[in-house]
Every structure is written in structure tokens, then in C-alpha cells.
Structure 1
Amino acid sequence: MATIGDVARVAGVSRSTASYALSGKRSISSAVRKKVQDAVDELGYTPNAGARALATAETKIIALLARFLSDEFAPAMLQYIQGVSNRARELGYDTLLVSEADGPAALRRLSTTRMVDGFVLLNVGESDERLDVLRQAAQPGALIGLPADPEGLDVFDLDFPASGRLMVEQLHGVGHREAILVSQSEHVVRRGGAYVWRLANAAQERAEELGMQLHHYYGASLQPEIGTDLHRFLDRHPQATGLLLNNEAAAAALPTVLREREVSAPADLSVLGRFSDEFARTFSLPFSAVDSAAMTLGRQAVEALVTRMQGSTKAEPHVVSLLPPTLDDRGSVTAPRAPSR
């Protein structure tokens, strides 16, 4: 029965280095980590008796890697987590929520020790450093969020470009010719949140095609900053008759902002957001929205993952599934008020 000492000997490294390479608790070069992993594979090493047992049997656990980031609105993230955990439970699996900052190390540790049967990843970035580790893992994985390179992975996401076009078309269709789009913060874009610019770019392109003026801004993710941002954006464009929101924090703050401005929707300002129905009910939001379908995406990811874990589609091509946008009409979009003479 192989020990960590055996792994270190075969890999040609110290016992502590082998341990750190497997645990991910310290920075180890990729070359050394590969040597250790090759030794683990050669020897069939697992860190303890429990892990050895798990290596040959199902754990009935799915790991959900979800980072709670300060530049995103945490309540929106909870909808995706609920969708994953609910569907996993229905299919007979427990969910292990992993919010460790070092996602690659956490994923590598869980995969190597065979603590889980598969992975679902949230907060997927354009060039997500977790993906190479996931592709090399013995267990399958599914993503909620579209990266630049989805090769070898099952991916589920909202069709954000189609969502942006739909939002603009809804306003233009009832007569709006000038509107404001508030996106997530620029920090989200800089760390790879491609869904922000995918929606914004498509919305801007569609607005130009329709001859509609669209002012795009990045808003904060917390109060009171987002409330201040909304006041500033509206002050800058007093002629704008429509407001599009790809920022859940902005949607949650908007009722207060409108009351402070003595403005009502849709009589004075048509409002259309992008958030889930569950989110709207949680915050009692009266605004129409493209449904972000957080629960649906969570369920789809788990269903695909469990099917692969059970072996029936291991050889099947991986899928990239983009959910077409649907509109939840709550009556906050109407024709703009005729200008006074």
C-alpha cells in the first residue's frame, strides 16, 4: 500500500513537497506537480484509507466551486447555487460548496483525493485558470458560464448577446429612442466576466442598427455606491426614457432611487432588467426582465454532469448550451411620454 513517502521517492522530491503538490496549500511549479501526479498515478496512491475506498466507489457528492466576489451581488449568486443543490438532491447527490479563493488548488485537491464524483463551476471567467485542471481531472465537470475555450467541457449559460438585443428591441418597439444601459462593474470585466461585454456589445450594436441612442455605464455592486451611480447616470441623460439593467444590485436599488427622484416606472421611465424570477420575488421588484434562468441553468448543469458520472455519455461530444432569453413582463415598459410643449 503506497505512502506519501513512496510518492516522494518516485517523483524525486521531498516528502513535504509531494504533500504540498497534492494539497495545493503552497505554490509548486507545474513541472514538479506533474512529477508528483505521475507518481500518484503509477503507485495508485490515495492519502488515506477513506480516500482509497472512495477511489473505487461513488461518493454521491458533487463539488460546487462558487467564489463569493466583492464585485458581484451575492444574492444573485445564491439562485444558481440553489438550482444546483436542489437538482443534485433530487438525483441522490449531496453538494459540497467550495468557495476557496485558490480555485485550481481546491479542484486539484478534491480530484486527487477522490472526495467527489464530479464538479460544477460557477463564476466562470473568459480565461478561467480552473479549466485546465478540470480537463485533467479524473472526474467530469460542467460549467455555468461560457469561457473563451469550452473544449472538452459541458457548458450551460444564458445567451447574453441575444438578451442584449432583445432588451433594446423591447424599448425601441414601443417608441423609445434614447436609453441608458447599466452593466456590472468594470472589475467584473477585467477579471474575465465576459457575459458583461457580450450583452453590452450586442445591445449597442442593435441600438445602432435601429437608430437608437444607448448610453452604457458600469455600476457598482453594493449600496450605497450603486444608488449614487444610478442618480449620476440619470442626471447625465435627462432625455433618456428607458433604463436597461445588467446589474442585479442596480435593480435592487432602483425602487429607492426612483422614489428619491419622484419618478415612477413606467410612466416616467421604462425599466427592463436581466435577473431571475426568484430574484425579482426576493426583492419585490416590479420591473420587467429578461430571465437570467439561474435555477434552470443549475439544474441543466447537474443533469448533464450526473449523466456523465454514471457513464452513459462519457464518449459523447461535449455540449455548449446557450439558453434563449425569455421575457418576464411585469408592466414596467411602455411607450414614452410625449414631450411637453
Structure 2
Amino acid sequence: MVTIGDVARVAGVSRSTASYALSGKRSISPEVREKVEEAVRSLGYTPNAGAKALATSQTKVIGLLARFLEDEFAPAMLQYILGVTNQARERGYDTLLLTDEDGVAALKRISNSRMVDGFILLNVAENDDRLDILRQAPQPGSLVGLPGDPTGIDAFDLDFVAAGRLMVETLHELGHRSLILVSQPEHVLERGGAYVWRLANAAEQRAAELGIELHHHFGSSSQPEIGRELEQLLDEHPSATGLLLNNEAAAAALPNVLHSRGLTAPADISVIGRYSDDFARTFSLPYSAIDSAADDLGRRAVERLISRIDGTVDAATTVVDLLAPRIDDRGSTAVPPSRH
């Protein structure tokens, strides 16, 4: 195994000088630093993580708390995990993924061990019991998701209220007057998934203001249940000319459902979903959708967290950053059939 001593020998400097050149803890001339860096590259030297942590008080690791829940669609959660891990890697940080069912215990354990420099929390609930622990932790944290009380913690999320309104307004402008909204399973709402009711309540309110009939259903998160539910909804509401999907499993199941009924979008029914562009590509979804912005949210959360780790932002100032929704138009909306 290549050591710092090997680097020093090849660079023609002392061991301490090589160490200082790599750590930045002392001023080293550009010429000497270049020799050390060239030796590192030629030898393929990787600093010992434990020794580096002791020298810099940093581990260069971010703790990511996420849970794969049975009543949520796992591929959708993976998009958020990738958004965080990809950005962390670009910034030179590894990611420790924690999927413990007991998030409070996991957060306490990792925080006390000083294994990470900071935390990012996914699956953020309206009244999330991890937040008090995070507020007391010596490491900073960021949230991907908006809780009821984000005091003292940076939070990043899609503006789900604006998203619900935008969905309804887009189809209203095309002449639709009867719509179906399929949300996440009701268990997600009961567990504190506030994004579900934020979007649904906003959509229902805007529909009422515009004189639109909106049929709201809490869908399942897996096949074949969600497929059967979509079939039933289309049977129960034959006058509905538009589908709004705040449920990734429903979006993934819809192509087969429409094909089995001999329907196409937008000729027979208009569709607007809410999921990431990567998700759409993964499942070859042809539907216009509000981008859930998993990559962007992960990038923002990581950047803010690293700024806190580095001490380059005011420790007393936190942000709540809600991304304005935008619809990626994939051609699945049009005037309702009766208006062609």
C-alpha cells in the first residue's frame, strides 16, 4: 500500500512537508505542492480517511437518511437518493446511506460517532420526530421535503401547492371541466406526507374556483392494485376528460391501462403527472408532467449543507427553498374530445 512516506520520497521532500502540502494546514510553495501532487498522481496515493479526519476534523462523508416504505414507490425514492449522492460525489464527499426504520436512533448513533460531517434527511414528515434530534446535533443538516415546522434547518422542496394549482389551471385553459386526481396512498398522508395534501388541497380549491368537477382518489403504490384502481376510476367517471397523477406507480401503470381500453393521450384523455424527468425516461412515460426536481433538490440541499460544514454561511440564518413547478410538455394534453 502506498504511504505518505512514499509520496514524500518520490517528491523529494520530507514526510511532514508532503503531509502539509496535501492537508493545506501550512503554507507551501506552489513548486513544492506541484511536486507532491504529481507524486500522488503517479503513485495512486489515497489519504487514509481516519487520519485525514483527525487532521482536518472532517470525514468528507454526508449521512443520508432515507427509508424505503412499502406504501411508496421505491423507484421514485431512488431518484432523490441519486440526486444527493451524485452531487455529494462531485463535491468530493462520500455518502453514508441510512435506511433504518428507527430514524431517530440512527440519527443519534451516527451523530454521536462523528462518522459524518452533516446530514440530509429524505421522507420528511409534517411532524418529523428526527428534527429535534437534528437541531441538537453538532453536525448541520438539510431537508429534502418541507415539514410543518422547519425552524433552524434548511429545507428544500417542490412547491406542491403551486403544482396542484398549475395542473388544474393547465387543463382548464384547454376546456376541461371534469378531472380525476390520483394521489399517493392514504397511509402516506396519515404518516405525515404533507406534500400529498398540499397538492390535493390546492388542486381541489382551484378546481372549485374555476367550476371544475374534480374526483380525488388515494391510489395504491404497486401493481396490480393501482392498475385495477385506474380501470375502476375510468369506469366510474366516464365524463372525466383529464387525469392528474401525484402517484408515480399510477403513472407507470397508465400506459398499459389506456392500451387495454383502446385509449390514447391526448386524443381520448389528457394526462399530467408529477415525477422527475429521469423517472419518465426510466419507464418510457409519454405524459406531460411537473418535474419533481429530484436532482435539483438534491443539488441544492448538498450545496447548502457543504456551505454549513465549511462555515461559509451565517449559522443563524436558515432557508426554506420551494421550487416553482414547471410542466415538461410531452404532448399528452389537448382540448377535450367533445371540443375537437
In the superposition, the TM-score normalised over structure 2's length comes to 0.83
* 1:318-333 matches, cutoff 5 A: 318-333=318-333
* 1:92-131 matches, cutoff 5 A: 92-131=92-131
Aligned residue type for 1:132: D
Q: 1:248 matched to which residue of 2?
A: 248
Q: 1:271 matched to which residue of 2?
A: 271
* 1:160-171 matches, cutoff 5 A: 160-171=160-171
CA displacement 1:173-207 (0-9 Å, x = unmatched): 00000010000000000000000000000000000
- CA separation of 1:121/1:54 partners in 2, compared to 1, >3 Å: closer, same or farther? farther
- How many residues are paired up? 291
Q: 1:178 matched to which residue of 2?
A: 178
Larger-Rg structure: 2
Aligned residue type for 1:185: P
Q: 1:145 matched to which residue of 2?
A: 145
Q: Does 1:283 align with 2:270?
A: no
Q: Report the CA distance between 1:260 and its aligned residue.
A: 1.0
Q: 2:294 matched to which residue of 1?
A: 294
Is the Cα contact below 8 Å between 1:54 and 1:114 reproduced in 2? no
Is the Cα contact below 8 Å between 1:230 and 1:250 reproduced in 2? yes
Q: Aligned equivalents of 1:317 and 1:212: distance in 2?
A: 42
In the superposition, the TM-score normalised over structure 1's length comes to 0.83
- CA separation of 1:209/1:310 partners in 2, compared to 1, >3 Å: closer, same or farther? same
Q: Aligned equivalents of 2:159 and 2:135: distance in 1?
A: 24
Q: Aligned equivalents of 1:312 and 1:54: distance in 2?
A: 21
Q: 2:205 matched to which residue of 1?
A: 205
Q: Report the CA distance between 1:313 and its aligned residue.
A: 1.4
Aligned residue type for 2:160: F
- CA separation of 1:321/1:339 partners in 2, compared to 1, >3 Å: closer, same or farther? closer
Q: Aligned equivalents of 1:72 and 1:319: distance in 2?
A: 28
Q: 1:159 matched to which residue of 2?
A: 159
Q: 2:317 matched to which residue of 1?
A: 317
For the residue of structure 1 that corresponds to 2:63, the secondary structure is strand
Q: Report the CA distance between 1:74 and its aligned residue.
A: 0.5
- CA separation of 1:194/1:243 partners in 2, compared to 1, >3 Å: closer, same or farther? same
Q: 1:10 matched to which residue of 2?
A: none
Is the Cα contact below 8 Å between 1:220 and 1:226 reproduced in 2? yes
- CA separation of 1:181/1:55 partners in 2, compared to 1, >3 Å: closer, same or farther? farther
Q: Report the CA distance between 1:316 and its aligned residue.
A: 4.1
Q: Report the CA distance between 1:56 and its aligned residue.
A: 6.5
Q: Aligned equivalents of 1:246 and 1:110: distance in 2?
A: 34
* 1:32-111 matches, cutoff 5 A: 57-111=57-111
RMSD of aligned Cα (Å)? 1.6
Is the Cα contact below 8 Å between 1:271 and 1:288 reproduced in 2? yes
Q: Aligned equivalents of 1:211 and 1:148: distance in 2?
A: 30
For the residue of structure 2 that corresponds to 1:232, the secondary structure is helix
Q: Report the CA distance between 1:315 and its aligned residue.
A: 2.4
Is the Cα contact below 8 Å between 1:124 and 1:193 reproduced in 2? yes
Q: Percent identity?
A: 68
Q: Aligned equivalents of 2:130 and 2:240: distance in 1?
A: 42
Q: 1:34 matched to which residue of 2?
A: none
Q: Aligned equivalents of 2:269 and 2:55: distance in 1?
A: 58
Q: 1:232 matched to which residue of 2?
A: 232
Is the Cα contact below 8 Å between 1:55 and 1:114 reproduced in 2? no
Q: 2:134 matched to which residue of 1?
A: 134
Structure 1 segments unaligned to the other structure (5+ residues): 1-49
- Moved beyond 6 Å, runs of 4+: none
